[in-house]
Amino acid sequence: MYSAFTYFLGFVVNSGEYKLMGLAPYGIDKSSQTEEYKKIIRNKIVNIRPDGSIKLEMKYFDFATGLKMIKTKKWEKLFGIQKRLPSDPILQEHCNLALAIQQITEEIVMNMATEAKNLTGEKNLCLAGGVALNCVANSVILKSNLFKKIFIQPAAGDAGGAVGAALAFAYMNQKIQFSVSGNDRMKGAFLGPEFSNNDILKTLRKYNADYTFFDNNNELFEYTAGQIAAGKVIGWFRGRMEYGPRALGNRSIIADARNSEMQKKLNLKIKFREGFRPFAPSVLSEDSKEYFDIDVSSPYMLYTAPVSNSIRNKLPENYNELELMTKLYTQRSEIPAITHCDFSARLQTVHQETNPDYHSLIAKFKELTGTGIIVNTSFNVRGEPIVCNPDDAFRCFMRTEMDILIMQNYVLLKENQHFDPKHFKEQFKPD
Q: Are 284 and 368 in a shared domain?
A: yes
Q: Are 109 and 213 in a shared domain?
A: no
pTM for this predicted structure: 0.92
Q: How far apart, in Å, are the Cα atoms of 177 and each of 125, 160, 180, 299?
A: 18, 20, 10, 25
How remote is the C-alpha of 151 from its chain's centroid? Answer: 17
Q: How many Å is the maximal CA-CA distance in the chain?
A: 65
127 SS3 class: strand
- As a whole number of angstroms, the distance between CA 132 and CA 167 comes to 19
- As a whole number of angstroms, the distance between CA 353 and CA 189 comes to 12
Range of the domain at 39: 2-122
The verdict on residue 314 lying in a domain is: yes
Q: Are 405 and 258 in a shared domain?
A: yes
The verdict on residue 162 lying in a domain is: no
- How many structural domains is the chain composed of? 2
Q: Which of 152, 146, 139, 69 is nearest to 103 (CA)?
A: 139
250 SS3 class: coil
Question: Kindly report the CA angle at 237 between 233 and 238, in degrees rounded to 5?
Answer: 135
| Res 133: pLDDT | 94
Q: What CATH code is carried by the domain that includes residue 237? A: 3.90.870.20
Q: Are 202 and 112 in a shared domain?
A: no
- Of the residues 106, 122, 138, the one at which a domain ends: 122
| Res 276: pLDDT | 79
The verdict on residue 173 lying in a domain is: no
| Res 420: pLDDT | 63
The verdict on residue 131 lying in a domain is: no
- As a whole number of angstroms, the distance between CA 260 and CA 336 comes to 6
The verdict on residue 182 lying in a domain is: no
- Of the residues 87, 122, 157, the one at which a domain ends: 122
Q: Are 102 and 237 in a shared domain?
A: no
Q: Is the torsion defined by CA of 191, 192, 193, 197 positive or negative?
A: negative
pLDDT in tens, the chain (431 residues): 999 999 999 999 988 999 999 999 999 999 999 999 999 999 999 999 999 999 999 999 999 999 999 999 999 999 999 999 999 999 999 999 999 999 999 999 999 999 999 999 999 999 988 999 999 999 999 999 999 999 998 999 888 888 888 888 988 988 787 776 667 788 899 999 999 999 999 999 999 999 999 999 999 999 999 999 999 999 999 999 999 999 999 999 999 999 999 988 898 888 887 777 889 999 999 999 999 999 999 999 999 999 999 999 998 888 878 887 788 788 999 999 999 989 999 999 999 999 999 999 999 999 999 999 999 999 999 889 999 999 999 999 999 999 999 999 999 999 999 876 565 655 544 43
- As a whole number of angstroms, the distance between CA 184 and CA 165 comes to 19
Q: Which of 336, 319, 279, 337 is nearest to 28 (CA)?
A: 319
The verdict on residue 142 lying in a domain is: no
- As a whole number of angstroms, the distance between CA 352 and CA 359 comes to 6
Q: Are 72 and 202 in a shared domain?
A: no
Q: Are 118 and 238 in a shared domain?
A: no
| Res 267: pLDDT | 85
Q: Are 225 and 316 in a shared domain?
A: yes
Q: Are 365 and 234 in a shared domain?
A: yes
> What would the 3-class secondary structure string for 392-430 be?
HHHHHHHHCCCCEEEECCEEEEHHHCCCCHHHHHHHCCC
- Asked if 308 and 292 touch (Cβ cutoff 8 Å), the reply is yes
Q: Which of 255, 344, 352, 332 is nearest to 303 (CA)?
A: 344
Residues 6+ apart with CB under 8 A from 403: 227, 232, 233, 234, 413, 414, 415
The verdict on residue 134 lying in a domain is: no
Cβ–Cβ contacts within 10 Å for residue 50, how many?
A: 8
- Of the residues 122, 137, 165, the one at which a domain ends: 122
Phi and psi at residue 102, in whole multiples of 5°? Answer: -65, -45
Q: Are 374 and 251 in a shared domain?
A: yes
- As a whole number of angstroms, the distance between CA 329 and CA 265 comes to 12
- Tell me which DSSP letter residue 344 carries: E
Q: Is the torsion defined by CA of 112, 114, 120, 125 positive or negative?
A: positive
- As a whole number of angstroms, the distance between CA 298 and CA 119 comes to 27
- As a whole number of angstroms, the distance between CA 386 and CA 268 comes to 18
Give the type of residue at 171.
Answer: Y
Burial of 349 (0-12, 13-18, 19+ CB in 10 A): buried
Helix, strand, coil shares of the chain as percentages rounded to 5? Answer: 45, 15, 45
Q: Are 104 and 217 in a shared domain?
A: no
| Res 180: pLDDT | 66
The verdict on residue 90 lying in a domain is: yes
Q: Are 230 and 365 in a shared domain?
A: yes
- As a whole number of angstroms, the distance between CA 234 and CA 249 comes to 12
